[in-house]
Amino acid sequence: MMPALAAIGFGAMNGAVIRGAIASGVLSSSDVLVIDPSAQTLARAAALGCSVAPDATAVRHQSVAPSALLFGVRPGQFAAAAAAVGRLAHPTLVLSVMAGITADAMRQTLGTNARVVRAMPNLPARVGAGMTVLARDPSATDEDAALARRLFQSVGAVLEAPESMLDSAVAVCGSGPAYAFALAEAWVAGAVRLGWSHEDALRLVQHTLHGAALMLMEPGADPAQLRAEVVTKGGTTAAALAVWADRDLAQTVADGMTAARDRAAELGSRSPGG
């Protein structure tokens, strides 16, 4: 069982992870303290059976200090949240789902008792199909790393990587669902232009994407090979993809991912100690 955990922030990501961990039995709701300034958000957490508090100073006022902290605030809010927590008096696993805030920056603010594991999950964690990249800082123990894996495996797949890869993980999987949604949005709009109702267009795109994703998840699947199986020389799919190639879709996607990675690095450079 996961030790007592204080979740600082209960937005989309922290909320998804905590709900998934409770549903799978990795966490008991009675072991979770949710900290968030929104009364409406705290009501949702309380409905799960979690303890709640509006301010991160509550961490210092617990009769038993939490064994783990889960930071799920925006990067620009970290300094204030960490200041409210204060320097940790006891060895504590610090889990972070924040882009750009380095383990070193967290230890400088929270003190040497912080044992840091950074995580970059994505929004499909909300439906148990997330992809999380975990980066274990040398300050974290084997037990810390195992707990982090169990927590995030409760909401999807986990890949471990060095912290130096976290900014690019933001670009690949953290921001990745938005790429798929943006494609779907354009795809639906294109279908409407071809005469479909919005409702029917959305259904066509949803099921096409779902089926393609299932094929891509098969063992040994290769996207280039799967694409080739759909394309017939001189056919309809080839005509569509030729337009994308003319407009250099691959370079556009790569440039966007690079921009996401660079923005994550910029957020880290502005963080305390970054």
Is 272 part of a structural domain of the chain?
no
**What would the two tokens of residue 34 be?**
């949710």
CATH of the domain at 138: 3.40.50.720
117: exposed, middle or buried (Cβ count in 10 Å: 0-12, 13-18, 19+) = buried
Q: Where a domain ends, among 135, 166, 197?
A: 166
Q: What's the confidence (pLDDT) of residue 1? A: 44
What distances in angstroms separate CA 257 from CA 76, 102, 169, 208, 260, one per listed residue?
21, 20, 10, 24, 5
User: What one-character DSSP code corresponds to residue 234?
Assistant: T
Whether 127 and 15 map to the same domain: the answer is yes
Distance CA 52, CA 62 (A): 12
Q: Give me the domain span that covers residue 202.
A: 176-263
Whether 224 and 110 map to the same domain: the answer is no
Whether 48 and 156 map to the same domain: the answer is yes
Distance CA 130, CA 106 (A): 25
Distance CA 130, CA 151 (A): 12
Whether 50 and 133 map to the same domain: the answer is yes
HEC profile for 85-138? HCCCCCCEEEEECCCCCCHHHHHHHHCCCEEEEEEECCHHHHHCCEEEEEEECC
CATH of the domain at 187: 1.10.3730.10
Give the global pTM: 0.90
DSSP states of 162-185: -GGGHHHHIIIIISHHHHHHHHHH
The residue behind tokens 């789902």 is 97
Report the domain count for the chain. 2
Whether 16 and 84 map to the same domain: the answer is yes
Partnered with residue 92 across adjacent β-strands are 114
Whether 155 and 25 map to the same domain: the answer is yes
Distance CA 95, CA 70 (A): 5
Whether 21 and 153 map to the same domain: the answer is yes
- Please report, in tens digits, the pLDDT of each residue of the chain (274 residues total): 445 899 999 988 899 999 999 999 999 999 999 999 999 999 999 999 999 999 888 887 776 678 899 999 988 899 999 999 999 999 999 999 998 899 999 999 999 999 999 999 999 999 999 999 999 999 999 999 999 999 999 999 999 999 999 999 999 999 999 999 999 999 999 999 999 999 999 999 999 999 999 999 999 999 999 999 999 999 999 999 999 999 999 999 999 999 999 998 888 776 554 5
The residue behind tokens 């508090």 is 53
Whether 94 and 195 map to the same domain: the answer is no
Distance CA 265, CA 101 (A): 9
Is 171 part of a structural domain of the chain?
no
Whether 191 and 97 map to the same domain: the answer is no
Contacts of 93 (CB under 8 A, 6+ apart): 3, 67, 68, 69, 115, 117, 140, 144, 147, 148
